[in-house]
Amino acid sequence: MIRDRYASCIQACNACAIACEHCAASCLREEHAGHMALCIRTDRDCADLCRLAALLMARDSPLADEICRLCAIACQACAEACAKHDHDHCQECAQACQRCVVECEAMAKAA
């Protein structure tokens, strides 16, 4: 069993990574993809940080809490960028990011 203290944060990170990847890919298909540049950029960093955070928590790595701290920063930036756009994929991504900020900040503080 994954350690209890990590379970909900791993879920939030995985869900956020998928939402970010989906949002970035969908932004690239929008008519005005150029307007979505900041959204795409923050999606990519956020997805990659979330994926590594989930990995290090699953391993119970000594760096798990530190990566959660960075991950919360990436999620916050992405939540702000995505919240400005009305596309469903952006709004869903902003929500996944906000949940992940809460989970990752709690993990970072518990360190």
- Is 73 a binding residue for its own copies by CB under 8 A? The answer is yes
DSSP state of 85: -
Q: How far apart are CA 51 and CA 19, in angstroms?
A: 12
CA 95 to chain centre: 10
Would you mind telling me the total number of residues written for the chain in this entry?
111
Task: Tell me the closest approach of the beta carbon of residue 18 to its own copies, in angstroms.
Answer: 5
- Computed on alpha carbons and rounded to an integer, the radius of gyration of the chain in Å comes to 14
Number of H helices, E strands in the chain: 4, 0
Q: For its own copies, which is the closer residue by CB, 49 or 104?
A: 49
From residue 14 to residue 43, the character string flagging contacts with its own copies as x (rule: CB under 8 A) and all else as - is x--xx--xx-xx--xx-xxxxxxx--xx--
Residues interacting with its own copies, by CB under 8 A? 1-2, 10, 14, 17-18, 21-22, 24-25, 28-29, 31-37, 40-41, 44-45, 47-49, 51-52, 54-56, 58-63, 66-67, 70, 73-74, 77, 88-89, 92
